[in-house]
Amino acid sequence: MASTALEELHPPLGEESLGVVHGKLGMWTFLVMDAMTFAGFLAGYARLRWGVGGGADIPWPYPYDTFGQVGIQLTAFNTFILVCSSVSMVHSLAAALKGNMKTAQNWMLATIIGGLFFLGIQGFEWTHLIKDIFFNGDIKNVNFAATFFCLTGFHGCHVAVGVIYNLIMFLGMRSGKIHQGNASLVEIAGLYWHFVDLVWILVFTFVYLI
């Protein structure tokens, strides 16, 4: 009885009085701030592209003219891979919550592979654009080049960090340090990964489709 009263006054370590894990609260705080950074990038892109005088001297290139049909389809496929990696993250968390850590490891490994696949395709795309288009002077609007590399590069850094983060989760599961009792760690990693996925859908829509 006394123990219960003490727990009510002093919640277990890692939890707020409302039952919110500290790590989850910290991750949500970080994601809100990070979302504002991405919003600033996207707002800058929109202002340069559609603002008054944004492309009056040098027309803003159309996505199809810049990336080509094959390039857009490749990036759409890359987007699909990233979305699938979010699905595998959901399965990893569900398995961890049930205590099936072997299955959780496998799904987390699939998430990592999806992230690496995304980065590989993005690296291939950057190499092609830099060598075959930008350096050849086919794209003369420097605002487009700057915003494209800033947006996709900043997001690519997030994906790279997410892959490292997920790898740590995978190794933690494999060593037994992450188990059913602290599966909230996987949930926190999932919040970050889903955010990266959602932001890319916005970037893909703005830069490659509109």
CATH number of 22-209: 1.20.120.80
| HEC-encoded secondary structure of 141-194 | CHHHHHHHHHHHHHHHHHHHHHHHHHHHHHHHHHHCCCCHHHCHHHHHHHHHHH
Domain residue limits, the chain: 22-209
pLDDT for 70-91, tens place per residue? 788 999 999 999 999 999 999 9
How does 62-72 read in b/e, with b if 16+ C-beta sit within 10 Å?
ebeebbeeebb
pLDDT at 72: 87
pTM (2 d.p.): 0.85
pLDDT for 3-51, tens place per residue? 444 444 444 444 554 556 788 889 999 999 999 999 999 998 888 887 7
- What average pLDDT score do residues 106-135 get? 89
Residue with the bigger pLDDT between 68 and 207: it is 207
